[in-house]
Structure 1
């Protein structure tokens, strides 16, 4: 059995052990850095469960992004870096909470879908409607993250922070948002799976691979310089998650630069 199948089996085993005694929808989070394979794992988990008659769906935190217009407003009122989607503070947490509340109430609910090409939510008619859901796989790079200690915010971690957030206002806002509304959202998670990259240094290469795949589909892509800048938005929290989440996650898979699973704990 391959390490990848071992990981899928381990995640399914975690769900199977807890689901019988769990009332209502079971929310499993899958998080990890960009390009770590979390979306692929989330889809495989939901597909396996559905094949066994367990009503399951995937919700990505990317589908909760604020519109470009809303982020431009944030950029004007708080900090210019908030125009770029990705970090805590650029999602509609209230929308996520409303989805969880409807699921818990046993009501039919449409799962949001964000269109990255248009940088806005798709029309609600395009959101899949679900009801009587047994398992929701909630995936995303920062899902389950906790805020950093304030003392950790002082020193910039990269050129982006040093040049474009010299007073720390952006990273302080992001950390504050993560410690408030996002914790209410993450509190609904019943079990947490984390894919731990070997180091942040691999993320640029993983993101570049993703862009090449997108290019093969005929979509617009970033060049290598654009990717190098873009991943810096994620560096601080990614490094913090690699340090912090394994102490709290129900299952941590440590992976190498080729995404091979080295260990599962």
Structure 2
């Protein structure tokens, strides 16, 4: 196990100290998931919620590899981000419902039916069945072609689904929904058309999708201000990876599509799309999540606070 942890730490360019995080935070989570799988006796779904930049993807990667390799539990994972509608589909949604839907992120901009299809295929798969897992290219702001999707072989006994709005609930009242939380809502959605549609999606297919989760893990960010800082850092890293990525044939070539990597000011506006649900989740989700992990301003993880469902 030590070798696996060290390999993953190096692969993800994480500091050596992350190995201590794995032992303190991630291994107890893996053991919790193993116990839950044994108790249920059938495939289980684990939801991982966390605001942007909290480390959901890294946590999911370590959990998947540890569960698969050391607990011998076939584990598949995907992100809600990989279910985003294509650019063309969001352009149509922006035209038909509200212009703000051109921006990926909020409920209503995912293909939830596709996510459900993946879950059902993973649960019903035979030993040699290959299930394609959707993938989204954020640097191009569009879904990857299906022939580039990763493939999971066999039946998954654990399915990890991570996402910034995973497990979020709709607004409690119309009054709460209509009071704008930032300048984006105030100036670009003055009648509340966009946020009302988002809320209807949370009440409908998103709520049904989230309700099948057997255990909800929350990475709790310290503040909305930290979320903005972390998301800006993510975009910087995405830009660096895109610039440094080797070109086909080892030669420089122009991308087939223009890059949609955001400037810092664009990130500020982008985060406003997420702010309402992020703030609401930070306020109410810790009281109902099956596991809460406090994330420090330095991205450090606290010990998992796990509660057993009644």
TM normalised by structure 1 equals 0.94
Task: State the 1:129 CA deviation.
Answer: 2.8
> More relative contact order in 1 or in 2 (CA 8 Å, sep 6+)?
1
The equivalent residue for 2:119 is 100
How large is the Cα RMSD of the aligned pairs?
1.7
Alignment match of 1:50 (pick from 68, 82, 100):
68
1:258 and 2:304 are equivalent in the alignment: no
Structure 1: distance between partners of 2:303 and 2:123: 34
Task: State the 1:262 CA deviation.
Answer: 4.1
Task: State the 1:104 CA deviation.
Answer: 2.9
Alignment match of 2:281 (pick from 216, 219, 241):
241
Misfit runs of 4+, over 4 Å: none
The equivalent residue for 2:84 is 65
Structure 2: distance between partners of 1:218 and 1:18: 39
Secondary structure at the aligned position of 2:242 is classed as coil
The equivalent residue for 1:140 is 163
Gaps of 5+ in 2: 1-18, 244-258, 306-310
1:36 and 2:54 are equivalent in the alignment: yes
Equivalent pairs, count: 265
The equivalent residue for 1:180 is 204
CA deviation digits over 1:125-183, x for unaligned, max 9?
22233221111110111111111113311211011111101111111110110110001
Gaps of 5+ in 1: none
The answer as to whether partners of 2:24 and 2:303 remain within 8 angstroms in 1 is no
CA deviation digits over 1:215-236, x for unaligned, max 9?
2213453222111111111100
Question: Whose radius of gyration is greater, 1 or 2?
Answer: 2
Structure 2: distance between partners of 1:178 and 1:67: 20
1:215 and 2:239 are equivalent in the alignment: yes
The equivalent residue for 2:142 is 120
Secondary structure at the aligned position of 2:104 is classed as coil
Secondary structure at the aligned position of 1:194 is classed as strand
The equivalent residue for 1:195 is 219
The answer as to whether partners of 1:255 and 1:262 remain within 8 angstroms in 2 is yes
Secondary structure at the aligned position of 1:2 is classed as helix
Secondary structure at the aligned position of 1:252 is classed as strand
When structure 1 is superposed on structure 2, of 44-53 and 123-132 the one drifting more is 123-132
The answer as to whether partners of 1:255 and 1:263 remain within 8 angstroms in 2 is no
Secondary structure at the aligned position of 1:157 is classed as coil
